[in-house]
Amino acid sequence: MNIFLYDNWERSLRQFTPMRQDWVGLYCCGPTVYDYAHIGNLRTYLFEDILRRTLEFNGHSVRHVMNITDVGHLLSDADEGEDKMERQSRRRGESAWVIAQRYTQAFMEDLGQLNIEPPVIWCKATEHIPEQIAFVQTLEEKGYTYITGDGVYFDTSKQDDYGYLARLDKEGLAAGARVALGEKRNITDFALWKFSPPGEVRQMEWDSPWGVGFPGWHIECSAMASKYLEPWFDIHCGGEDHLAVHHTNEIAQNKACHGTRLANFWMHGYFLQLDQEKMSKSSGEFLRLQYLIDRGIDPLAYRYLCLTAHYRGHLNFAWEPLQAAQTALERLRKHFHAWPPGGTADPEYIARFTELINQDLNTPRALALVWELVKSGVPDGDKKATLAVLDKVLGLRLSEWQPASQDAIPADILELVSRREQCRADKNWSESDRLRKEIEARGFAIADRPEGAQVSRS
């Protein structure tokens, strides 16, 4: 089936056609590893995981690349303030390299807890300094740079279409600028290479043709994406906050260097909100995934919650819907576990699911179809086989789950429970009662709960 994805460059749904036969190029902006990721950050990576799984579900091989920003991301997007890594190092009294390693590992563990497929290629900014310097040199040779007292800058006035991705009002930005330009020629100009401040010894700095310093935030993604996916590839992803600055500047760099906008599709996940406000680390109140786990929430319940909302819509975080997501996930697991193996996947449900997920990753409607399947008259074994296929996209690990309290329940008893559940759904109360008595006669008790029947040894 055809895949349709929303492209922010065109601001419309477009049919996705891979640029190559052998693989689809997917670049996802990774974390700045000065602190833990919060669950708002992780929502973006969940959306990108659904995108990758959908492409693979449709038979594509995906070359998924993700960067680790471990240098160059300043406190302000206007290239002002300290490097976030150096600032955290000073605050913690630890090496910036140690901090980068700790939070990179923590991020990877979060991805694992959420069953997010790891990228095919991880690339750290600090391990690609030569590539970034070479990229800036090319921009310099083509006349797109100038040097100030604090670094090498990209001259955005050289491009008439600068800011098209975000539909920037450049004249309005210039007129409404509240900060001094300093030596910058235009308010939208940005740093390609920053000089180490005089008299300051940085932990992360390198020699370059322009002096000792470190790369700007935006150049790393242009350099690494071009290296691993070529200068023109299929899809570039990130959070909605990347639209106006980071991705806009990536495109500017790539157009100047290679003559392309880097990616054919530009896709963005929208924010998780707390009381209608963006969740951020700077607030000091961000929620880590571990915070949810410590309060009894299964990480995959958070994944389920994110599936209930479209990636292009804001999702307001609250404990009640998260708990509801956990309850729904438990019900789905128990149904799946109780159904007998050996069935055949239902082609109609597979086709309907594919059509929904291929329509710009419509996970809310795809989940609704899952529950329609659960309640349908499809034989239980076929339900199990079908849901196992659908879970390749949903990523809820249904096949791996085992109920801790029912480890010793024989398969034939679980089959009786499943048959009784179907009888209850069909309002066949006499057969339901008969099956209950049979289960109890075999030495097991059954309790009907809102999330489904629970069986235990009596």
The whole-number pLDDT of residue 284 equals 44
| Range in 19-33, 84-98, 288-302, 401-415 with the lowest mean pLDDT | 401-415
pLDDT in tens, 376-401: 999 999 999 999 999 999 999 999 99
| Range in 4-8, 153-157, 176-180, 414-418 with the lowest mean pLDDT | 176-180
Confidence of residue 17 (pLDDT cuts 50, 70, 90): very high
Average pLDDT, the chain: 92
The whole-number pLDDT of residue 455 equals 81
Q: Which residue has the higher pLDDT, 201 or 310?
A: 310
Q: Which two tokens stand for residue 450?
A: 């809102």
For residue 285, pLDDT beyond 70: no
Compute the half-sphere exposure of residue 119: CA atoms within 13 Å on the CB side of its CA. 24
Q: Quick one: 3-269 is in which CATH superfamily?
A: HUPs (3.40.50.620)
Mean pLDDT for the stretch of residues 266-277: 85
**Contact (CB, 8 A) for 4 and 267:** no
pLDDT in tens, 60-70: 999 999 999 99
| Range in 5-9, 284-288, 396-400 with the lowest mean pLDDT | 284-288
Compute the half-sphere exposure of residue 190: CA atoms within 13 Å on the CB side of its CA. 26
The whole-number pLDDT of residue 235 equals 98
**213 — phi, psi (to 5°)?**
180, -150
The whole-number pLDDT of residue 115 equals 98
Q: What ranges in 299-345 are assigned the alpha helix state H?
A: 299-307, 319-338
Compute the half-sphere exposure of residue 244: CA atoms within 13 Å on the CB side of its CA. 8
Distances (CA, A) of 272 to 266, 279, 291: 20, 6, 16
| Percent of all residues in the chain with a pLDDT value above 90, rounded to a whole number | 76
Mean pLDDT for the stretch of residues 255-282: 85
Residues of the chain with CATH 3.40.50.620: 3-269
